[in-house]
Homo-oligomer: A and B are copies of this chain.
Amino acid sequence: MLAHAHDPEDPRAALRALEKKLLSMPPVRALALHVNAYDGEVLQFTAPLAANVNDKGSAFGGSLASLMTLAAWGLTTLQLDAAGLVAEVYVQDSQLRYLKPLYDELRIEARLAPGQDWRTFLATFAARGKARATLMAEVRDASGALVTAFDGRFVALRPLACGPAGP
């Protein structure tokens, strides 16, 4: 049987480990992201505007794209980790809609898309070593208006038993 998808023992340790892993990548470190909150279903990142500003003084679209992709990737990774499953997670495709400029802190929320469920995803991965999920992410401004919407397909694969040597 699968472990509960939300580790009840130390959920904060999982978030700290995710943040550390993300910040180990140079292009992600530049985004100055913070893994802010997670309730088992919704993963929230924040990032300062100053590190992610474009020539118009608003949030850079590339930063929004990166952060939304990472939040969805991170949520998928947290679900697998909490179930005790070892996987590599890859983004396969994504759609982004940029609806209005953002002049505030970047606040990203990622969750599973409607019609998907983690139980099926995790059971499929456990049985086949491969599973796909569609996730969505949103950025809203301080008034609650939708700034940017993302949806993307992610695939989890069981790592090869004999991978290439080296770090």
Give the chain B neighbours of A128 by CB distance below 8 A: none
Nearest Cβ in chain B — how far from A57, in angstroms?
9
In the complex, A106 Cα to B102 Cα: how many Å?
Answer: 28
As for how many copies of this chain the complex holds, the number is 2
In the complex, A37 has a CB within 8 A of chain B: no
Give the chain B neighbours of A52 by CB distance below 8 A: 26-27
Contacts A21-B55, A66-B66 known; A60 to B28 CB distance under 8 Å? yes
Give the B-binding residues of A (Cβ under 8 A): 21, 24-28, 30-31, 50-56, 60-63, 65-67, 69-70, 88, 90-98
5 closest A-B pairs (Cβ-Cβ)? A62-B66, A30-B30, A65-B65, A93-B97, A27-B63
Q: List 7 A-B contacts (CB under 8 A).
A: A26-B52, A27-B52, A28-B60, A61-B66, A62-B67, A65-B69, A93-B96
